[in-house]
Amino acid sequence: MLWQATGDEGTIEKIQVRRNLFYRQDDMRTKSFAANLDQILILIAAEPAFSSSQLSRALIAAEAAGITPIIALNKSDLAAPFTQAWEWLAPYRRMSYQVLRFSLGLAGEPERTALLKIFEGKTTLVLGPSGAGKSTLINLLKPGALAQTGEISHALNSGKHTTTRTTWYWIDDKRTTALIDSPGFQVFGLNHIEPAQLARYMPDLQSHASHCKFYNCSHLHEPGCSVITALESPSNPHGISLNRYKIYSELHAELSDLTKY
Ligand SMILES: Nc1nc2c(ncn2[C@@H]2O[C@H](COP(=O)(O)OP(=O)(O)O)[C@@H](O)[C@H]2O)c(=O)[nH]1
Ligand SMILES: [Mg+2]
Ligand SMILES: [Zn+2]
């Protein structure tokens, strides 16, 4: 779809052939979505600490939609928490996802030029928890965009209503580069994914899944499960991370519960 901003609202100008559809479920409605994305930037930060479960959900949703995800860890100037957070990202770096380091708050012209290269000619959905730096990124790439920045806690304390709107920004005058700023990823609906399909959207599990004894292995309890055999352990320090496996089993249970009714 082509969107046209009219004041605060966006109206649909023209329906284009839908290449993909990225779901995001709200409390009240399943309305916020973006179609025809080229990539999804998952922006997290050294602070506030990110949830690896939310990160995994975003990655699974991207995989399921067939859209390339890029992970970026912002606030590299916060040395100690950044080092810690970068370490937490080790399983994701091993999965051959592109994992970038940003310090958006300190970016000057050379950094801005380098950043533009990532987005040039593409439509990118920017996802991430509140406070990660999404608005900072947009204001940097499009001076004058006036995306509101600030900590969510700050906004909440002052009684201000934080935006839950998904906003489309054209970065260039030719309208070839677009960024979509969406509110945090707390409520990430993965309800459209079958539990039996889940592992195929988790590359670290999937790379072992084809070696399981049973073709329909759930990787939860079966004998001869290659996923379970590949779990991280003292003898296999670079195996599937226990945290990622926990996320898999929790999501599997959550999605299985849904299919019962
Ligand atoms: N230390 C540090 N703070 C940053 C950086 N980038 C953004 N911030 C700050 O983090 C806070 C949240 O940024 P914002 O862009 O509003 O995040 P959003 O909620 O994802 O849109 C703001 O106070 C920013 O100034 C960075 O690279 N380093
Ligand atoms: Mg924001
Ligand atoms: Zn298995």
Question: pLDDT tens-digit profile of 27-73?
Answer: 434 434 556 789 999 999 999 999 999 999 999 999 988 899 999 99
Between 204 and 4, whose confidence is greater?
204
Sign of CA dihedral 198, 200, 203, 204: positive
pLDDT of residue 35: 60
Which of 135, 150, 181 corresponds to the end of one domain? Answer: 181
Starting from the CA of residue 217, give the closest ligand: 3
Any domain includes 186:
no
Looking at the fold, whether 200 and 177 belong to one and the same domain comes out as no
* Secondary structure (DSSP) of 68-116: EEEEEEE-TTSHHHHHHHHHHTHHHHHTT-EEEE--GGG--HHHHHHHH
Of 17-26, 86-95, 150-159, 169-178, the poorest mean pLDDT is in 150-159
Neighbours of 259 (CB within 10 A): 10
Residue-number span of the structural domain to which 54 is assigned: 2-181
Share of the chain above pLDDT 90, in %: 62
Any domain includes 66:
yes
Looking at the fold, whether 174 and 255 belong to one and the same domain comes out as no
Residue 16: CATH number of its domain: 3.40.50.300
pLDDT of residue 258: 77
Starting from the CA of residue 220, give the closest ligand: 3
Nearest of 207, 161, 176, 178 to residue 41 by alpha carbon: 178
Looking at the fold, whether 132 and 254 belong to one and the same domain comes out as no
Q: What is the pLDDT of residues 180-201, one digit of tens each?
A: 887 766 445 688 899 999 999 9
Looking at the fold, whether 245 and 131 belong to one and the same domain comes out as no
Which of 154, 181, 208 corresponds to the end of one domain? Answer: 181
Q: Are 182 and 24 in contact (CB under 8 A)?
A: yes
Show the DSSP H helices in the chain as ranges. 52-65, 79-88, 90-94, 109-119, 134-141, 152-157, 203-209, 226-229, 242-259
Ligand 1: which atom is nearest the Cα of residue 74? Answer: 27
Looking at the fold, whether 107 and 200 belong to one and the same domain comes out as no
pLDDT of residue 19: 56
Of 53-62, 96-105, 161-170, the poorest mean pLDDT is in 161-170
Residue in 82, 136, 140, 152 to alter for ligand 1 test, most ligand atoms within 8 A of Cβ: 136
Looking at the fold, whether 147 and 28 belong to one and the same domain comes out as yes
Pocket of ligand 1 (CB under 6 A): 74-75, 77-78, 103-106, 128, 130-136, 149-151
pLDDT band at 20 (very low <50, low <70, confident <90, very high): low
Cα distance from N-terminal residue to C-terminal residue, the chain: 34
Nearest of 133, 136, 137, 130 to residue 154 by alpha carbon: 130
CA atoms within 13 A on the CB side of 218: 12
Any domain includes 190:
no
pLDDT of residue 165: 66
Looking at the fold, whether 117 and 161 belong to one and the same domain comes out as yes
CA 68 to centroid of ligand 1, rounded, Å: 24
pTM of the model: 0.84
Is residue 209 scored above 90 in pLDDT?
Answer: yes
Determine the distance from the C-alpha atom of residue 248 to the mean position of all C-alpha atoms in its chain, rounded to a whole number. Answer: 16
Is residue 255 scored above 70 in pLDDT?
Answer: yes
Query: Which residue in this structure is represented by tokens 């999404």?
Result: 134
- Per DSSP, the three-state class of 54 is helix
Residue 237: CATH number of its domain: 1.10.40.50
pLDDT of residue 144: 75
Of 4-18, 86-100, 108-122, 198-212, the poorest mean pLDDT is in 4-18
Ligand 1: which atom is nearest the Cα of residue 148? Answer: 16
Task: Give CA separation, 99 vs 70, 146, 158, 186, in Å.
Answer: 6, 27, 34, 21
Is residue 104 scored above 90 in pLDDT?
Answer: yes
Looking at the fold, whether 146 and 250 belong to one and the same domain comes out as no
Which of 157, 181, 205 corresponds to the end of one domain? Answer: 181
pLDDT of residue 145: 74
Domain total of the chain: 2
Looking at the fold, whether 73 and 140 belong to one and the same domain comes out as yes
Looking at the fold, whether 169 and 55 belong to one and the same domain comes out as yes
